[in-house]
Amino acid sequence: MTSLKLEFVCKVLQQHKLLNEQQIQTVLQQESDIRAQLKQQAGVDVNTLTAIDVLCAMHLVSAADGQTVLSEELIMRALAAHWKLPFLRIELNKVESCKLASKISAPFARKHAIFPVSMSKNMLFIAVVNPLNVEMLDTLRNVTKMEIRPVISLKSDIFHAIEECYKIQEAEKASQKHFEGFEASVSAASAASKDETAPAVPGGMTSVNADDANDANIVTAVNLMLQYACEQRASEIHLEPRQFQSQIRFRIDGMLYDVKQIPQGIHNNMLMRFKALGGMNISEKRKAQDGRTHFSFHGRDMTLRISTMPMTFGEKVMIRLLDPILLLRHVETLGFSDEQYAQYRALISRANGILLIAGPTGSGKTTTLYSTLDALAERGINVTTLEDPVELPYDRFNQIALQPGVGFDFEQAVKHLVRQSPDVIMIGEVRDKQTADNAIQTALLGHLVFSTLHTYDAASALTRLVKMGAEPFFVESAVIAVIAQQLLRRVCQHCAQPYRPSEQDMAMLQLSSEQTGLLRKGKGCMKCRGTGYLGQTGVFEILEMTDELRSLVHDNIGVSMIRETAAHQGVKLLRDMAMAKMLEGQTTVEEVLRMTAGIATPHSARFKTKITLSDEVERSDDPAELEAVSF
């Protein structure tokens, strides 16, 4: 294999007036020392060490101006000009490059530091560092049966592309294999079952017995489905019985995607398996049940919360996949603005009172609560949680599972708890007058109480407490602040592109064209499965109680007045924060509109894998329960 000689590279740089004779002499003298040093550095691949690496390690400055550092890019551009070949920085946000990667095996690409960048008819453009490696170019020509056109690029770009694309490809392949394995197990189980095509009977009567749950195919199918769901970053799996088939859907970044339809018989078998896993009563088909189990995914202990619910055509199963890594995060990474973060830190340092986290289902309230409590527990504070059921078992908290069925309800628990002198108490959710009253009493006894409430914004949470029957006087004296939150899908960093919204969208968000400079949108890539979104970020509205707000609550003044007063006092509302994130390019116009409309709208981007976005995007909230929000 021919490799670029240092002398040759130096000569080219001299022709471009980047090095002078004296510098070249020094470089050549020091070459072996630098190579030896580089070989000892951790993470340096000895086999791919080039003359360019040696030059870069010397931090030389241009002979022309005596100050410009000879970077890898400057050197490669000079070489490209010398060879009369195009120079290219590899932009990995192109789906094509990852698709093209399959044209060349990963070891071959690594060995020669090459990466395919584009294709046109019978021509394959390959990013290379050394176009003089004729042998490599010949091999490529023979293997791909295409004309090979070298383009010069940076070695660092090429290796970054190799790692990114082949890693994604390998993960995608493994994931696809799991999905195919799941499909194969379902087919095998269907073949074994006789009455798979029989339509379901309303009421969900089935003839499945407990033994079927242990059917090896079903066990495999369930395992592979869980594996696949984790790989796709799903937070929920839904198995929904319909009249003739059952639909499996995954919730990913807050949106539901269709995964596969399965026969009713298989649905029932999988249901049995989940009931068995969750320690639930297998023969009980007419009541809703809850269970829990664990699943290990790449060494991570995922908690699965399983719930079943009788529906017209059988029992629906919903599995929540709780990843401790996602549920316990650093508070500063949740999505607060710097200003809000400082304010929030001050609020959670208070000794007593109630802090309410408000938001609809799936708005990230649990993550905010758990992450906050984790931060407090770290400071040596005694944290106790009262939950029904316990969301995620975690040994840094004292967790109490309420069992209203056997008389161990909230009131009972609190009575005993206050004797244990907890500093901070978390109450899963304020649902009714009783929990509201108890939370208030506990706070007034000198504890810091955290809880959640099901409303879209902060102002509504205050009026909701009063509507539940809590005394306005107690509400205004106990509540320190309401933190409302929502989740927005984050633009995929790997395929983000600048973008200009439509006139209509701009008018709806009252945007001027000067404001839209930084807007970005994902084009869709393998990392985001073609959706253009990867992950979610929280947006927050912190409504800290002031005398003015207290008097509004005291006088039972309506929600819009509270909201208006808060905005007047400088409280940044959810919409403001969402707009700020959009203008920074973190999220899209569509996401902001979706959030402000308070309803989920189907998105045109579809999964490039077997998963497609459900036509019917559901919201788990009962709209009647939520206060209307006008922005």
List of residues contacting Zn ion (CB under 5 A): 492, 494-495, 522, 525, 527-528
Q: How far is the CB of 530 from Zn ion (least distance, A)?
A: 8
Q: How far is the CB of 589 from Zn ion (least distance, A)?
A: 17
- Of the two residues 354 and 495, which places its CB atom closer to Zn ion in the complex? 495
The per-residue DSSP string of 444-460 comes to HTT-EEEEEE--SSHHH
Q: How far is the CB of 93 from Zn ion (least distance, A)?
A: 7
Secondary structure class of 309 (helix, strand, coil): strand
Q: How far is the CB of 232 from Zn ion (least distance, A)?
A: 14
- Of the two residues 247 and 493, which places its CB atom closer to Zn ion in the complex? 493
Q: How far is the CB of 233 from Zn ion (least distance, A)?
A: 13
What gap in Å lies between CA 44 and CA 49, rounded to an integer?
Answer: 8
Q: How far is the CB of 526 from Zn ion (least distance, A)?
A: 7
The answer to whether 629 and 456 are in contact (CB under 8 A) is yes
- Tokens representing residue 561 in the block: 């007045």
Report the amino acid identity of residue 113: A
Secondary structure class of 579 (helix, strand, coil): helix
- Of the two residues 394 and 533, which places its CB atom closer to Zn ion in the complex? 533
Q: How far is the CB of 328 from Zn ion (least distance, A)?
A: 26
- Of the two residues 126 and 492, which places its CB atom closer to Zn ion in the complex? 492
Q: How far is the CB of 364 from Zn ion (least distance, A)?
A: 22
HSE value, Cβ hemisphere, 13 Å, CA-based, for 224:
19
Q: How far is the CB of 253 from Zn ion (least distance, A)?
A: 12
- Of the two residues 54 and 528, which places its CB atom closer to Zn ion in the complex? 528
CA torsion through residues 51, 56, 57, 61, sign: positive
What gap in Å lies between CA 430 and CA 359, rounded to an integer?
Answer: 12
- Of the two residues 492 and 539, which places its CB atom closer to Zn ion in the complex? 492
What gap in Å lies between CA 315 and CA 313, rounded to an integer?
Answer: 7
Q: How far is the CB of 533 from Zn ion (least distance, A)?
A: 8
What gap in Å lies between CA 541 and CA 581, rounded to an integer?
Answer: 13
- Of the two residues 82 and 99, which places its CB atom closer to Zn ion in the complex? 99
- Of the two residues 373 and 528, which places its CB atom closer to Zn ion in the complex? 528
In the block, tokens 């799996």 appear at 237
Secondary structure class of 303 (helix, strand, coil): strand
Q: How far is the CB of 529 from Zn ion (least distance, A)?
A: 8
- Tokens representing residue 288 in the block: 């809703």
Report the amino acid identity of residue 63: A
- Of the two residues 239 and 534, which places its CB atom closer to Zn ion in the complex? 534
- State which residue has the least CB distance to Zn ion: 492
What gap in Å lies between CA 326 and CA 253, rounded to an integer?
Answer: 12
The backbone torsions φ and ψ at residue 395, rounded to the nearest 5 degrees and listed phi first, read: -80, -5
The answer to whether 98 and 86 are in contact (CB under 8 A) is no
The backbone torsions φ and ψ at residue 302, rounded to the nearest 5 degrees and listed phi first, read: -85, 135
The answer to whether 6 and 27 are in contact (CB under 8 A) is yes
HSE value, Cβ hemisphere, 13 Å, CA-based, for 504:
2
The answer to whether 144 and 193 are in contact (CB under 8 A) is no
Q: How far is the CB of 491 from Zn ion (least distance, A)?
A: 8
The per-residue DSSP string of 172-240 comes to HHHHHHHHHHHHHHHHHHHHH-SSTTSPPPTTT-----GGGGG-HHHHHHHHHHHHHHHHTTEEEEEEE
- Tokens representing residue 136 in the block: 């490599």
In the chain, what is the straight-line distance between the N-terminal and C-terminal CA atoms, in Å?
66
- Of the two residues 94 and 433, which places its CB atom closer to Zn ion in the complex? 94
